[in-house]
A and B are shown apart, each in its own frame.
Chain A
Amino acid sequence: MADPHIELTHQPIDYQALTERVRSPQAGAVLLFLGTVREFTSGRQTLRLEYEAYPPMALSKMRELAEQAAQRWPLTEVAIVHRLGLLDLGEISVAIAVSTPHRDQGFEAGRWLIDTLKEVVPVWKQENWSDGTQEWVHPGTSDTATSPPALGP
C-alpha cells in the first residue's frame, strides 16, 4: 500500500478527487463511504451539525486505522478525510475511499474503517436542533447537554 491519504479539513470534501486518488490498475474494486448530515434523528430535526477535533491525535488515530486495515486486508490504496466546523444538511462529514484487488475485501475494510473511526478518532459532533437548542453527542453518557434557546418563544 502507498502512503495513506489522511486529512482534516474545514472545506467541503471533494469526494470525486478522493476516489480518483485511490483508483489503481492493481485494484479491481474501489469503495467510497460518505457520512452525510441527516435531517431527522429519532423524530428531532437537525438544522446543522458542528464538528470539532483534537487535531494531532485525530490525524494520528486515522493513520493508525489505515495501517491496521492494511494489515488485515490487501489494500491497494486508502484515503480518510474528516470535515470540521459547521455543516449544513446533506453535506459530507467524512469520506473513506479504499481500493482492493477484489470487492469483498473493499467492503469489509471500508465497513471496519468507518465503524472503528466512530469509536476511536477524537472528533465530536454537536447537534443544532430546529428548536434552537444545541447538544453535544457523547455516546454512552446518559443526560442530555441541551442549552436553552438563544431567544424565547
Chain B
Amino acid sequence: MKVPGDMKVSVQLFARARDLVGTSPVEVELPQNANVGSLRRALAAQFPALAPLGPHLLVAVGQDYARDQQPLSPDQEIACFPPVSGG
C-alpha cells in the first residue's frame, strides 16, 4: 500500500550483484524514514537472486561507505556491491 512519505530510490549494482539481478540500476520502494538497513531488507525481498551475497553486500551513499543506521533520502546517489577485489 502506498503511504504518504514512502520513497523510491535508484540503486546502482556492480559486479556479481548486477549479474545476479540482471540489470542496474534498480528502483526500490522504501518506507518513510528509511535507512541503509531498510534498503538492505528491501533489496533482499525484491531480488531473491541476491541471496548468495546476503550479508556481504556493501552499500555506498554519496560515493562513500554507509552504515545500516544512516538515513536515506531519494536524491542521494546509492550503490550496492559485493566485497571489492581490485589490485
Within 8 A of A (CB), among B35-65: 52-53, 56, 60, 63-65
> Is A128 interfacial (CB-CB < 8 Å)?
no
Interface size counted on chain B using CB atoms at 8 A: 20
Contact with A along B71-87 (1 / 0, CB 8 A): 00000000101111111
Contact present for A94 and B86 (CB under 8 Å) = yes
**The stretch of A69-77, A99-107, A138-146 that contacts the partner chain:** A138-146
A139 CA / B16 CA spacing, docked (Å): 12
Q: Which residues of A contact B14 (CB under 8 A)?
A: 52, 54, 122, 124
Whether A136 contacts B15 by the Cβ 8 Å rule is: yes
Do most interface residues of chain A lie in helix, strand or loop, or is the interface mixed?
Answer: mixed
- A57: chain B residues at CB < 8 Å are 60, 63-64, 79
- Chain A residues lying within 8 Å of B83, measured Cβ to Cβ, are 138-141
Q: Which residues of A contact B85 (CB under 8 A)?
A: 118, 123-125, 136-139
* Contact between chains at B84 and A118 (CB < 8 Å): yes
Distance from A46 Cβ to chain B, minimum over Cβ atoms (Å): 13
Which residue on B lies nearest to A135, using beta carbons?
Answer: B16
B65 to nearest A CB, angstroms? 8
Bound CA–CA A57/B58 (angstroms) = 13
> At the interface, yes or no: A120 with Cβ under 8 Å from chain B?
yes
Within 8 A of B (CB), among A33-78: 35, 51-54, 56-58, 60
Given contacts A124-B15, A141-B52, contact A54 B87 (CB under 8 A): no
A123 near B82: Cβ-Cβ < 8 Å: no
6 A-B pairs with the lowest CB-CB distances in the bound complex, closest first: A123-B86, A124-B15, A136-B16, A138-B82, A137-B85, A57-B63
Q: Which residues of A contact B (CB under 8 A)?
A: 35, 51-54, 56-58, 60, 82, 93-94, 114, 117-126, 136-141, 143, 145
